[in-house]
Structure 1
């Protein structure tokens, strides 16, 4: 019964955020209409520079609308943790939205959409933040390497709404906790991360985590990664992860081999080979899928807008490991307002 009340409370919070955002936008539109009616025609001639700005108006308007909505929602949520009479500290909110079309030889109608909203709560000295996301944990400063969709890390429904609290954070270590809802199930998670560097060329990341779901039970994951900085613009990366849970038998694993190359300040590429499977389960050891891909990523039109083209080859157990070619086309936007 307690779980049911928590689910209803979380849904109420999300609906309230959306309602307040729409209400605020509507009020702004009404004020703008009033100002247009009162404003008198200007006798000064029109400036010709307006025509040069119209080319970027549509994209900048989209960015400002989303950024303002995210910011208003962040301010509303953060106000619950402070006295109304006290001085309001402006929160920091960031959002990432991605749309993609991934046609394959056996499925031409596969579409992918991802979003991530992160709100830092300043009244907790930026140690606590609200995260709404439907993708795996990715650092804000890092490019997610799993371009082609892989098996979900925790459950089939990956959407999560969680409060994140940073227990300890240093330049080479991190301990944080999360509590929230993922796939309709309440969960709690503890994660620890350590970074080791050698000779400014070699880097190692060790990241163990433990999580508990009310329905699925206890689970754990270990993520290991090695980076070799070949030169200023290229890097080799190898990572390996294993995870187990009471919700399924066996241990699921995933390897990744990548070559990252920065072509120029606005363009980069990632060549990758991913292998994932399971061991010690009902069917013993097996490889679920191989994926070979080349991702070309570039920034265009606006500094917050990115495009990706990723041709790939896939060998899946479900398709008897026959070669399945495909291509992923994506557009990704980053929105923030401090």
Structure 2
């Protein structure tokens, strides 16, 4: 039972803000008491601002005379500088806000982001993917039909990059031993401008010990907006170094098949991602050196490094 508990704890450590912050909040807060007060004020101001906006939105769905319930808000702000060979100007600032609406029995989320929330081309742990030059603001409502330990189903309706979309997704987890787990995640979607599409994500996880996990991902996607099928493989080694630090070593290959160019590999990526918590319990830093071999550069070795600062704001 202990191994099973450790497996699920580590399995969600890189995909869920809640699990990451929960472990950190268990530590003593004495180390933060003498810190500069301005950053505490900044964190409170952002959290309060997001919370008040969420409460205002949720009031539209409150029946007259009913008891007021407080929404739960999670917000993430990320600053990233990602210099590459031949490209030193790639600086990005990103935000994502998720609001649980209590008057829908916490089955509905409002998600706002300046990233393409409808884009499923990235694997769950992928971070070095080249982003499009055009920024895409996304707003969507997500309804959770099923949310249990081994099964999750949701539907999302929203707008992304000026295009209205709807997407249905199902996740299913299978565990056949204490150290092995398998995830199947099919989804279908429809864009008003691009038409129908579908995607299948397969994932296998092997827990070597309490601090080390290996993960293999495979994703295929088809859509009326492009010919052929796009695919992507990912191999990862996740390492829990201590209570404040973790690392991910990854190798990814992506391309397409059955299209106008038949079978082609678009890019190879090898990276090492080092993540740590410092200064405040809600503040995280990342350093990720990587190597790419893109087709557009004739598979020439392209080195790069990413520096990231992420702040998490939560209330409710």
* TM norm structure 2: 0.85
SS of the residue corresponding to residue 330 of structure 1 reads: strand
The alpha carbon displacement at 1:134 in A equals: 3.7
Please show how residues 1-338 of structure 1 align to structure 2 within 5 Å.
55-135=35-115, 145-150=125-130, 158-338=136-316
The alpha carbon displacement at 1:269 in A equals: 0.5
- Relative to structure 1, the CA distance from residue 144 to residue 57 in structure 2 (aligned partners, 3 Å threshold; closer, same or farther) is farther
The alpha carbon displacement at 1:56 in A equals: 2.5
- Relative to structure 1, the CA distance from residue 256 to residue 137 in structure 2 (aligned partners, 3 Å threshold; closer, same or farther) is farther
1:153-194 alpha-carbon deviations (Å, 9 max, x no partner): xx9755321000011121100111010101100000100110
**Match of residue 22 from structure 2:** none
In structure 2, what is the Cα distance between the partners aligned to 1:131 and 1:84?
Answer: 25
The alpha carbon displacement at 1:114 in A equals: 2.2
The alpha carbon displacement at 1:150 in A equals: 4.4
**Match of residue 44 from structure 1:** none
RMSD over aligned Cα atoms: 2.0
The alpha carbon displacement at 1:137 in A equals: 6.1
- Relative to structure 1, the CA distance from residue 239 to residue 53 in structure 2 (aligned partners, 3 Å threshold; closer, same or farther) is closer
In structure 2, what is the Cα distance between the partners aligned to 1:251 and 1:192?
Answer: 20
1:280-313 alpha-carbon deviations (Å, 9 max, x no partner): 1111110101110001100001000000010110
Q: Structure 2: where are the runs of 5+ without partners?
A: 1-31
The alpha carbon displacement at 1:199 in A equals: 1.6
The alpha carbon displacement at 1:222 in A equals: 0.3
Contact 2:184 2:202 in 1 (8 A): yes
Contact 2:112 2:140 in 1 (8 A): yes
The structure showing larger relative contact order (alpha-carbon pairs under 8 Å, at least 6 residues apart) is 2
**Match of residue 13 from structure 2:** none
Which structure has more helix as a fraction of its residues? 1
Deviates more, 1:328-337 or 1:107-116: 107-116
SS of the residue corresponding to residue 171 of structure 1 reads: coil
Contact 1:157 1:182 in 2 (8 A): no
Contact 1:223 1:239 in 2 (8 A): yes
- Relative to structure 1, the CA distance from residue 100 to residue 61 in structure 2 (aligned partners, 3 Å threshold; closer, same or farther) is same
* TM norm structure 1: 0.79
Structure number with bigger Rg: 1
